[in-house]
Amino acid sequence: MKERIERLFAAGAGADKAEARAVFAELRQALGAGTVRAAEPDAGAPTGWRVNAWVKQGILLGFRFGDLVDMSEGLPFYDKDTMPVKRPGTGAGIRIVPGGSSVRDGAFVAAGVICMPPMYINIGAWVGEGTLVDSHALVGSCAQIGARVHVSAAAQIGGVIEPVGALPVIIEDEVLVGGNTGIYEGAVIKRRAVIGAGTVLTGSTPVYDLPHGRIIRPESGQPIVVPEGAVVVPGARQVTVGVGRDWGVSLATPVIVKYRDDRTDTRTELEAWIR
């Protein structure tokens, strides 16, 4: 499948439409089953993850060679016929609570996941077992969300299909993503971290680590990596040059105020009551 996708992608608009649609259908099924991933753990990579560019190339084939069709079911929807809504059925063990949520086919959603309305999970995303995706939350295309993660209300987990070589956002196991949080541009959040409500992280955002007295920055063209167990909250840093200094201007920046402990764990276990 990888070789076929790479060949068809290289052919651009001149690729055989029927073959492109067929290989994309195969890819979509594999993505939905979790046997193929847009990114996967790699202990040898600087971030601990590697991107599978050919998977994103295959998703782009699905968009390019899909035909616009009427997908209305009560409300009017029009999309590419290659991109249907996922219908996991009761046997999958997934709760999709009524109220306007959607999961695109080609996303993997593990057993025990709870989807609170309205939320959206896009194609190529991977969501691990026991994770809660709360109301108005977005899991973008190809984002990788681990097991037992809490994606709180209105949190935005950015997606990325292009450039195909770019790492998508990675949220590892047992992370708490607070409400109104934005995580974008391939930022990597290591396991058991807590991202406080309202925090915004991008792939190039410096993170101020108060417990260790350091500034964490992206290295060698890689996205930012938030350490395991870090508790990150919104902060500010003073502008020290130019008129910004004279005006007393500060810029928003994420700050690590502590690392996860038993007290933090107690507070993050409250969601167990809704399961």
Split at pLDDT 50, 70, 90, the class of 272 is low
Cα-based angle 170, 116, 56 (whole degrees, multiple of 5)? 35
Query: Coil, strand or helix: which one is 115?
Result: strand
| Tens of pLDDT, residues 65-99 | 999 999 888 778 899 999 999 999 999 999 999 99
Considering the four listed CATH numbers 3.90.470.20, 3.20.20.60, 2.160.10.10, 3.90.550.10, the one that applies to the domain covering 2-68+92-274 is 2.160.10.10
Domain borders along the chain are 2-68+92-274
pTM recorded for the entire structure:
0.92
User: Going by C-beta distance under 8 Å and a sequence separation of 6 or more, which residues neighbour residue 77?
Assistant: 70, 71
| Tens of pLDDT, residues 52-74 | 999 999 999 999 999 999 988 87
The whole-chain average pLDDT of the chain stands at 93
| Tens of pLDDT, residues 198-218 | 999 998 889 999 999 999 999
Q: How far apart are CA 188 and CA 225, in angstroms?
A: 5
168: pLDDT strictly greater than 60: yes
Model pLDDT, residue 268: 60
Q: How far apart are CA 179 and CA 137, in angstroms?
A: 9
